[in-house]
Amino acid sequence: MVTLLYFLFWVVRETWGLSGKRVQDYTLYTGALGTAYLVFNAYQVTKNENDLKLCSDIVKACDSASKDSGRVTFICGRAGICALGAVIAKHSGDARLQDHYLTKFKEIRFPSDLPNELLYGRAGFLWACSFLNKHIGKETLSTIRMRAVVDEIIKSGRRLAGKGTCPLMYEWHGKKYWGAAHGLAGIMHVLMDMELKPDEVEDVKGTLRYMIKSRYPTGNYPSSEGSESDRLVHWCHGAPGVTLTLVKAAEVFGDKEFLQAAVDAGEVVWKRGLLKRVGICHGISGNAYVFLSLYRLTGKVEYLYRAKAFASFLSDRAQKLISERKMHGGDHPYSLFEGMGGMAYLFLDMGEPSKARFPAYEI
Ligand SMILES: [Zn+2]
């Protein structure tokens, strides 16, 4: 508990307190919104009104800093700011502020060249809709609005897949990525939260089966279509992000093949996932969530032990190893996705592991 409070205090001080409360990077990924999301997670445990006020102040500053941004997603764009702002306003009992953020959310317009992936594309916008509907109420974002986006994602996936063996395929910056951040795993994960038509369900299942069939002999997953470099075991690229998607598939569809594939991918994360970074995107904290997710799915306590092993490694040794340059502190060392913010988020979640969710990804 002391370690957790220490890290929380440190993250808030470095990303907010010392900035003069002016925001440059407003994103949840590496910027101030990530700190607000972390503090909101703390509030849900502590119910401390000061935490809520702090979240609200940070989101307000992110709102001003992102006014002219054309980004539309939860993790890197306006949808995250407006959605989190509305949910925090609801908890504060401020109906006027909640309306303000919801109106702004509904004013978000898509650029014509919008990709489909999670960090910058349609899937990342849809995730924000799910977040709002979960925390504020069903139909806060109408099914019709969300359906239009799902239609675009499915149409574009079928178009690129063509007559290939995978029913849906997507590109980001000219590459057919498979991971959670930019590729198939992230897009399928978000689609499974939507109300899909039977043929769309078959396409999502078919895409996951294609990925399982085409994984490396080691059990790890390629970062992009056809890649032969079995190197990355990250949430963003490789088995960890895919495991979370397969866990979701097992939960949603109930098929044994997805459960088995999730368990197999989890083994890769256990063997190769103790990385040299701390964050959730491509670090140990993110990989710990794989075990928490498998624990939730299977109830097997060995997954809880594995999550605890990764979390204990971080709390006991990360700071020392970073100071000795044996671990990398992250390009944004206090951020939610790359740095200590993610570690603090994990420590908070370890307090009630069955409720743990990979931040801004598992709803
Ligand atoms: Zn990453």
Please check whether residue 222 lies inside any domain of the structure.
yes
Q: How far is the CA of 222 from the centre of ligand 1 (A)?
A: 14
In degrees, rounded to 5, the angle at the alpha carbon of residue 117 between the alpha carbons of residues 116 and 123 is 75
Give the whole-angstrom CA distance, residue 48 versus residue 106: 30
Please check whether residue 361 lies inside any domain of the structure.
no
- Within 8 A by CB and 6+ apart from 92, the residues are 52, 53, 56
Q: How far is the CA of 237 from the centre of ligand 1 (A)?
A: 7
Please check whether residue 363 lies inside any domain of the structure.
no
Residue type, 164: G
Give pLDDT, residue 21.
82
226: left (phi over 0), alpha (psi -120 to 50) or beta: left
Q: How far is the CA of 171 from the centre of ligand 1 (A)?
A: 17
Q: Is the pLDDT of residue 91 over 80?
A: yes
Q: Is the pLDDT of residue 138 over 70?
A: yes
Please check whether residue 115 lies inside any domain of the structure.
yes
pTM of the model: 0.96
Average pLDDT score over the chain = 96
Torsion angle, CA of 310/315/316/319, rounded to 10 degrees?
Answer: 110
Count how many domains the chain has: 1
Q: How far is the CA of 129 from the centre of ligand 1 (A)?
A: 23
What would the pLDDT profile of 337-356 be if each residue is shown by its tens digit?
999 999 999 999 999 999 99
Q: Is the pLDDT of residue 49 over 70?
A: yes
Q: Is the pLDDT of residue 179 over 90?
A: yes
What would the pLDDT profile of 205-237 be if each residue is shown by its tens digit?
999 999 999 999 999 999 999 999 999 999 999
Please check whether residue 9 lies inside any domain of the structure.
yes
- In Å, how far are 2, 34, 75, 149, 154 from 121, measured between CA atoms? 39, 19, 10, 10, 13
Lowest-confidence segment of 43-52, 114-123, 149-158, 291-300 by average pLDDT:
43-52
What's the mean pLDDT in 303-311? 98
What's the mean pLDDT in 235-242? 98
Q: Is the pLDDT of residue 357 over 80?
A: yes
Q: How far is the CA of 290 from the centre of ligand 1 (A)?
A: 15
Contact 308, 252 (CB under 8 A): no
What would the pLDDT profile of 139-157 be if each residue is shown by its tens digit?
999 999 999 999 999 999 9
What share of the chain has pLDDT > 70, as a percent?
99
Residue type, 219: G
Say which DSSP state 25 is in: -
Give pLDDT, residue 284.
98
A 10 A CB-CB count for 9 gives: 12
Q: How far is CA 103 from the centre of its chain?
A: 24
Which residue, among 89, 139, 82, 147, has the nearest Cα to 108 in the 3D structure?
82
Q: How far is the CA of 246 from the centre of ligand 1 (A)?
A: 19
Please check whether residue 362 lies inside any domain of the structure.
no
Concatenating the DSSP letter of every residue in 238-296 gives SHHHHHHHHHHHHHHH--HHHHHHHHHHHHHHHHH---SB-SSSSSHHHHHHHHHHHHH
Which residue, among 168, 160, 142, 330, has the nearest Cα to 245 in the 3D structure?
168
Q: How confident is the model at residue 72 (pLDDT cuts 50, 70, 90)?
A: very high
Q: How far is the CA of 64 from the centre of ligand 1 (A)?
A: 27
Domain that holds residue 70: 1-351
Q: Is 76 annotated as a binding residue?
A: no
Q: How far is the CA of 46 from the centre of ligand 1 (A)?
A: 30
A 10 A CB-CB count for 225 gives: 19
Please check whether residue 270 lies inside any domain of the structure.
yes
CATH of the domain at 253: 1.50.10.10
Q: How confident is the model at residue 130 (pLDDT cuts 50, 70, 90)?
A: very high
Q: How far is the CA of 281 from the centre of ligand 1 (A)?
A: 4
Contact 195, 138 (CB under 8 A): no
Q: Is 236 annotated as a binding residue?
A: yes
Give pLDDT, residue 4.
81
Please list all protein residues whose beta carbon sits less than 5 angstroms from ligand 1, which is an ion. Answer: 236, 281-282
Both structure tokens of 313:
């490694």
Give pLDDT, residue 285.
98
Q: How confident is the model at residue 1 (pLDDT cuts 50, 70, 90)?
A: low
Q: Is the pLDDT of residue 74 over 90?
A: yes
Give pLDDT, residue 66.
96
What would the pLDDT profile of 159-170 be if each residue is shown by its tens digit?
999 888 899 999
Residue type, 280: I
Q: Is 282 annotated as a binding residue?
A: yes
